[in-house]
Chains A and B, each alone.
Chain A
Amino acid sequence: MNTILVVGLVFIVGIFLFIGYLISIYNGIIRLANIYKNSFSQIDVQLQRRFELIPNLVETAKKYMEHEKETLEAVILARNQAHSAAQALKADPSNAGAAKTFNKTEGALGASMGSFMALFENYPDLKANENIKALMEELTSTENKVSFSRQNYNDSVMTYNIGIQQFPQSIIANMFQYRDVPQLEVEDVKMREAVKVQF
Chain B
Amino acid sequence: MNFFEAQYEAKQKTRNLLVLFFSSVLTVSVLIGISLSIYLKDSFDTENMVLTIFVYSSLGSFGFISIVSLIKTEYLRRNPSSIFTNLGGIEISGVQEDFIFEQYLNIVEEMSIASGVPIPSVYYLPESSINAFACGFDIHNAGICVTRGALENLTRDELQAVVAHEFSHILNGDMNLNLKLTGTLAGLLIIFKLGRLLLRSSGRRSRKKGNGAAGIGAIFFALGGIGYLVAGWLKSKISKEREYLADASSVQFTRNPDSMVGVLVKIMANVQGSQLKSSHVDDASHMCISDPTKSFFSFDTHPATEKRILAIKENYNVKELTEENLLKVRENMYSIQRERQDSLRKKNTKKEEIIGPESFKSAMAYLGPMFFFLNKLPQGQVSSDKSIADMIIPFMQNELDEIKNLNTDTKIHYLEAVVPFIRRLDSTEKEGIYKSLKEEVIKDSKIKFMEFLILSYLRPVLVEEKLPIKDLSSNEFYKYASMLLSYLYYEGDSTDINFIDLVSEEKSINFILKSELGYLNIMDSLKWLRFAKPKDKELLCKLAKKIIVSDSKISDKERLIFCLITQSIGVPGIALKDV
Contacts and interface: CB of A to CB of B under 8 A. Distances in A.
Contact of A52 (B109, B155, B347, B362): B362
A5 to B, nearest CB: 31
B417 A130 contact: no
B16 to A, nearest CB: 21
Contacts of B524: none
Contacts of A156: 116
13 contacts: A34-B574, A34-B575, A41-B409, A41-B413, A52-B399, A56-B358, A133-B343, A134-B102, A134-B358, A145-B110, A148-B110, A149-B114, A155-B252
Interface string A24-53: 000000100011001101101110010011
A39 B117 CA distance: 11
B110 A42 contact: no
Interface in A156-180: 156
Given A41-B410, A45-B413, A135 B355 contact: yes
Interface in B353-391: 353, 355, 358, 361-362, 365
Interface string B151-166: 0000110000000000
A191 B456 CA distance: 44
A65 B574 CA distance: 48
Nearest to B342: A128
B516 interface: no
A42 to B, nearest CB: 6
Interface string A115-142: 0000000000000111101110110110
B116 A199 contact: no
B402 interface: yes
A130 B352 contact: yes
Interface in B372-428: 399, 402, 409-410, 413-414, 416-417
A95 interface: no
A144 B110 contact: yes
B360 to A, nearest CB: 12
Contacts of A137: 99, 102-103, 106
B410 to A, nearest CB: 6
Given A34-B574, A135-B355, A152 B102 contact: no
Given A45-B413, A130-B352, A135-B355, A141 B116 contact: no
B362 A49 contact: yes
B578 interface: yes
Nearest to B354: A131
B573 A35 contact: yes
B181 to A, nearest CB: 27
Given A130-B347, A151-B114, A152-B113, A138 B573 contact: no
B353 A131 contact: yes
B147 to A, nearest CB: 20
B106 A45 contact: no
Contacts of A44: 410, 413
A44 B253 CA distance: 19
B115 A152 contact: yes
B271 to A, nearest CB: 24
Contacts of B355: 60, 131, 134-135
B446 interface: no
A56 B416 CA distance: 23
A137 B102 CA distance: 9
B117 to A, nearest CB: 10
A87 interface: yes
Interface in B80-122: 99, 102-103, 106-107, 109-111, 113-116
A149 B113 contact: yes
Interface of A: 30, 34-35, 38-39, 41-42, 44-46, 49, 52-53, 56, 60, 87, 128-131, 133-135, 137-138, 140-141, 144-145, 148-149, 151-152, 155-156, 199
A25 B157 CA distance: 39
Given A46-B113, A131-B355, A141-B109, A199 B155 contact: yes
Contacts of A87: 402
Contact of A130 (B99, B116, B413): B99
A131 B357 CA distance: 11
A87 B253 CA distance: 29
A1 B290 CA distance: 66
Contacts of B347: 130
B493 to A, nearest CB: 27
Given A34-B578, A134-B102, A137-B103, A152 B114 contact: yes
A155 to B, nearest CB: 7
Contacts of B277: none
Contacts of B410: 41, 44-45
Contacts of B358: 53, 56, 134, 138
Contacts of B361: 56
Contacts of B514: none
Contact of A53 (B103, B362, B573): B362
A131 B353 CA distance: 8
A130 B343 contact: yes
Contacts of A134: 99, 102, 355, 358
B346 interface: yes
Interface string B39-64: 00000000000000000000000000
Nearest to B115: A152
Between B99, B109, B355, B402, the greatest number of chain A beta carbons within 10 A of the residue's beta carbon is seen for B355
B116 A39 contact: yes
Nearest to A132: B355
Contacts of B116: 35, 38-39, 42, 152, 156
B533 interface: no
Contacts of A133: 99, 343
Contacts of B200: none
Interface string B246-263: 000000110100000000
Contact of A141 (B106, B416, B575): B106
Interface string B236-252: 00000000000000001
A155 B255 CA distance: 11
A42 B109 contact: no
A52 to B, nearest CB: 5
Interface in B415-448: 416-417
A181 B392 CA distance: 39
Contacts of B362: 49, 52-53
Contacts of A56: 358, 361
